[in-house]
Amino acid sequence: MVHLTIKKTIAIIGAGPCGLSQLLAFKQAEQDQLVELVCFERQAEWGGLWQYTALTGTDSCGEPIHSSMYRQLWSNGPKEVLEYVDYTFEQHFGVSIPSYPPRAVLYDYITGRAKAGDIRKFIQFRTAVRNVDFDDNTKKFHVTIEDLTNQLTKYLTFDHVIVASGHYTIPNMPDFEGISKFPGRVLHSHDYRGADEFVNKNLLIIGSSYSAEDIAMQCYKFG
């Protein structure tokens, strides 16, 4: 008797650290012809939030800039708790590195693991997911995507959808009474790229968590 296995279709939204990890996890199942994989990434490259760009606001396709990275960002947590269980920092770089690396080192590590796993072929870059619906009758997910390069919309169906788009894409800007009348510049940390633009200026930072502390220290050092 021949047993036929019906492939499960899996869509992964986002090619950041988590999305890339999901691709790597399902890669063997794909090679065994148990699943069909596709990952949709709105940006032109992988890496998610760790992909630095000097741009703020919107990109060339009119999409909100995803990254909150700034030039002098360093990890605020030790690399030992960020390390992939199946791909160590020492394995990637060939030497031991400090526990608190800069963003460029972390980005190189994250994307290096993806390159080593040969998973780029599963990713559709410059593709935004616009909507996801679940059909109770068919038990399928209906996914609406847009190819940002040519503005083409497609409607696809999947057995499973994994959302790995992250938590820090959209700035959480509080609405302070009267802030709209402030004559100076109002900036969320999401759009901060470097301290050099604030040299010799009066700066008020609202908040006292990681971003606020980091930005305050950098601006203080720049003067």
Domain shared by 21 and 118, yes or no: yes
What would the mean pLDDT of 20-30 be, rounded to a whole number?
Answer: 90
8-state DSSP, 222: H
Domain shared by 34 and 98, yes or no: yes
Contacts of 88 (CB under 8 A, 6+ apart): none
Q: Structure pTM?
A: 0.89
Domain shared by 56 and 117, yes or no: yes
pLDDT at 72 over 50: yes
Domain count, the chain: 2
Output 14 or 34, whichever has higher pLDDT: 14
User: Residue 146: which domain range?
Assistant: 8-163
Domain shared by 185 and 89, yes or no: no
Give the CATH number of the domain where residue 101 resides: 3.50.50.60
Domain shared by 73 and 142, yes or no: yes
pLDDT at 210: 87
Pairwise CA distance, residues 23 & 15, whole Å = 9
Contact 79, 97 (CB under 8 A): yes
pLDDT at 1: 46
Q: How many CB atoms lie within 10 A of CB 13?
A: 22
Pairwise CA distance, residues 200 & 190, whole Å = 22
Output 23 or 175, whichever has higher pLDDT: 23
pLDDT at 2: 45
What would the mean pLDDT of 170-198 be, rounded to a whole number?
Answer: 91
pLDDT digits (tens, 9 = 90+) for 87-143: 999 999 999 999 999 999 999 999 999 999 999 999 999 999 999 999 999 999 999
Domain shared by 158 and 190, yes or no: no
